Structure 1
């Protein structure tokens, strides 16, 4: 509902756009043929105050500043509405501002990511966009555990005011406090290492859209620097939570893994249960206050805090055996949400050379010394994820028995269960698969495959699995995974 003091401006924008507004509790957007006008509502809601015209101007300009780097084609400028000589409102002009609006490009309703099917390629592109945004975000050291504590405690009265069940909220708060106490040292270490940055702050699917063929984050939180100056993992967690509920564990798992493949930030796993739970709780009481369904969100907030022991699985075999396909298929069902972290040597190598996973590298990138460093980084990332409580799937050829032993040692050091899977297929099948690869992180050619096939891998003690149609079922059986289980 538009506040009465803005009724004239609202009527003007409706005539200008020829459309009724798309409203939230803090803004009204008027979408015209080639321009959209966004007006901030003159409201005070406790967590923000837009009642003063000068503040509405300031926050319009701050929104433009925050979002233009990620979405330059969407965000255009900020203009006043003033009175013309005839007393009628107009865009711009020299008179005293009556209202301030943000001018944007219109986005087709079907191009918001909460309104479209999400392919694997689109999920990867979303993760790439978020990773790039976080990499460019300015660092800002805070007391991260205290910041999370304040967010946690602020949610309790908000949830109760929204009418969520008091007994469940009390139990959730107790579990969240215990989890915060457990992970506080890890959060503080991440703060010191520069992972707290000025982030998006409101990174759900509705605030991502397709623009010029690629996903773009927009509508970053502009009205509270404290709420947006957070760990990048907490920023990402909103998107993961939203994906998990809307599209399933597989979609959230793919975005997590692509994000870590691009950023190298396996350490974010330490905060995931708390962050996912907080994001679900925030959305639960917001939806309850709007008299919308909230039950699934509260269920998720509780579920994210239930412990699930981590485990480690390694998938090895010659090029073309389908290691990455199997690893990705297993990962969503392993451990806690949103499933296991898949650490693929091919992707780590690409990140070390500063290129996208699908970009090919020259032969020198595969020198023995480089490969040794890649494996060490994979092992370090696995150790970090396991220490944070996340299950891990290692994806590599593992032709060298020493690398297989090293993987097992990482699991032993973390005190978690280890299972190795060794995929096998006839050489003719592997040659055909390698020849048909497109847009994959592996640069292996048929010549690379033939050299590897001549090498002696030594004794294979891992579960041997035929790389055929029944490979996933065989792998799940070897891992002791019941159908539909989260192990």
Structure 2
């Protein structure tokens, strides 16, 4: 009973009263209480009652009774998409003569979402800690989520939330709301570093965000896909989605996957994160997702850091709980920093030059040092003609598989293959002659569309050395190229000078110089434009088209 007669029962008094077991229909022995920064939860033996706190954080507003009623109803509606067996409905909290009841007599003072209590031993969090999550479990969960994303609502309004300017607004809000915690839960250096990396990614990778919109990857998602919101038995239940702000739910499915991926890594289950990601990519066939994984993982880690920081200002949170929240917030911001450091800014390099000028040698050298995907027109051309790479077709210039139409098909295949890797965040080098300005421009537009930095590597060499190289290559017959000396002069006649590419994106190499000198020249040029981290030596060629 509340002391005295009041027109309005204060929230904290109501919370204390709701701890009484006799108020609950299932007559539990005791009521277990937990809270977040926005909700108070009451656990009985079989049910959970979730009451929204009367708070307004800007991104959510539960400050009025009507708002809390509406969002309770929304929570039930939305969560029934992934956990229909859990969400039972909305209950009223009523007060009469100083006494509270669930759905009884008197005036309504608040509302609660009523849920079936899930078995704690089958929660993903508990199973992970016990080492009881199998590869089959990850496959089952990934398939369940991929199917949900496939059927989740999609329309013009939802798609708009995948645009760069909207995503930038979300980040700006995060930075504004966390500025007060600089020096407490994150360092000033980390705060500014993440800001800079995020803005760079949004500026340079605009094309990939537009491509995700165009291919229908922006959906009405769950919005809060974490380990502690998943139960695996008796049937999968993914609960507690975001109901209070559609902006947090209307998102790229990559952001949803990145949330669970990040949460698993944050808890020390990196292997499980990779296994889940693998099975999701298999189930969804979403080839573009990896390119955005670290970006959205950074976002999700940062938001978790922000949410934990908010608890420091909640008067209902104990000092002990605040100390733990401070520790967790710092850990999340540190993880966000790590993801920001891993953001990928892919390159699209193309070789350019007459036959025998060293394009393939240079392409292989760069691919090996920068871990580039190497795609060769000589190999693709043979594949299109259903020929093994080592089989030679010494056609007349402009005839057979070297006709204009077949060459157009070859370049189109090059661009398709390049796009397949670029959307995944991989850097690519295209080994082809690119003698025509229009073909170079098409490659440049592909890079621009997908947010990759674009460079032309033009190879030149004295004709005497070209002749020696071509004659040697023809004698040995090991390379897929059909280039030979008698074609050289004909290529010279159709070659168009590289005048359309800005100087900072055009690297002209005299391939009479030693390979080490040429490599240094290219690496120094790229380092000056992209930053050292983008051009550091890596583990070797990651994917090489067969040759």
Shorter-chain TM-score bucket reads 0.5 to 0.7
- Indicate how the Cα distance of structure 1 residues 301 and 391 shifts in structure 2: closer, same or farther if over 3 A, else same: farther
- Indicate how the Cα distance of structure 1 residues 69 and 382 shifts in structure 2: closer, same or farther if over 3 A, else same: farther
- Indicate how the Cα distance of structure 1 residues 381 and 272 shifts in structure 2: closer, same or farther if over 3 A, else same: farther
CA deviation map 1:248-291 (0-9, x unaligned): 43222211121121111111223222111111222223334432
Select 1:298's aligned residue among 319, 330, 333.
333
TM-score after normalising by structure 2: 0.55
**Residue aligning to 1:123:** 138
Whether the 8 Å contact between 2:50 and 2:113 is mirrored in structure 1 is yes
SS in 2 for 1:21: strand
* 2:298 is the counterpart of 1:277: yes
* 2:261 is the counterpart of 1:249: no
Whether the 8 Å contact between 2:86 and 2:237 is mirrored in structure 1 is no
What is the correspondence of 1:31-42 to structure 2 with a 5 Å cutoff?
Answer: 31-42=43-54
**Matched residues, number:** 332
Distance 2:110 2:233 in 1: 28
Select 2:108's aligned residue among 85, 97, 122.
97
Select 2:172's aligned residue among 150, 153, 156.
153
Select 1:208's aligned residue among 226, 230, 251.
230
Superposed CA RMSD in Å reads 3.3
Distance 1:267 1:309 in 2: 14
Distance 2:211 2:307 in 1: 31
> Any gaps of 5 or more consecutive residues in structure 1?
312-334, 336-378, 393-413, 416-458, 460-478, 482-487
Whether the 8 Å contact between 1:172 and 1:302 is mirrored in structure 2 is yes
**Residue aligning to 2:389:** none
Whether the 8 Å contact between 2:11 and 2:53 is mirrored in structure 1 is no
Distance 1:301 1:127 in 2: 24
- Indicate how the Cα distance of structure 1 residues 391 and 248 shifts in structure 2: closer, same or farther if over 3 A, else same: farther
CA deviation map 1:195-247 (0-9, x unaligned): 111111111111112341x3321100000011211111111111111112224
**Residue aligning to 2:199:** 177
Whether the 8 Å contact between 2:205 and 2:345 is mirrored in structure 1 is no
> Any gaps of 5 or more consecutive residues in structure 2?
1-8, 311-324, 348-370, 372-414, 429-451, 454-477, 479-538, 542-547
**Residue aligning to 1:434:** none
**Residue aligning to 1:67:** 79
Whether the 8 Å contact between 1:13 and 1:37 is mirrored in structure 2 is no
TM-superposed CA distance for 1:31, in Å, is 1.1
What is the correspondence of 1:21-420 to structure 2 with a 5 Å cutoff?
Answer: 21-83=33-95, 88-93=99-104, 95-117=106-128, 118-139=133-154, 140-143=158-161, 144-162=163-181, 163=184, 164-212=186-234, 214-289=235-310, 290-306=325-341, 307=343, 384-390=420-426
CA deviation map 1:104-143 (0-9, x unaligned): 1112333332232233222222212211221121012205
Whether the 8 Å contact between 1:269 and 1:385 is mirrored in structure 2 is no
Whether the 8 Å contact between 1:129 and 1:217 is mirrored in structure 2 is no
Whether the 8 Å contact between 2:291 and 2:344 is mirrored in structure 1 is no
TM-score after normalising by structure 1: 0.61
TM-superposed CA distance for 1:28, in Å, is 1.3
CA deviation map 1:270-329 (0-9, x unaligned): 322211111122222333443233444333322223356889xxxxxxxxxxxxxxxxxx
- Indicate how the Cα distance of structure 1 residues 32 and 381 shifts in structure 2: closer, same or farther if over 3 A, else same: farther
Distance 2:86 2:145 in 1: 17
SS in 1 for 2:55: coil
SS in 1 for 2:290: helix
Moved over 4 A (4+): 307-311, 379-383
Whether the 8 Å contact between 2:219 and 2:252 is mirrored in structure 1 is yes
- Indicate how the Cα distance of structure 1 residues 75 and 381 shifts in structure 2: closer, same or farther if over 3 A, else same: farther
Distance 1:381 1:241 in 2: 29
- Indicate how the Cα distance of structure 1 residues 293 and 81 shifts in structure 2: closer, same or farther if over 3 A, else same: closer
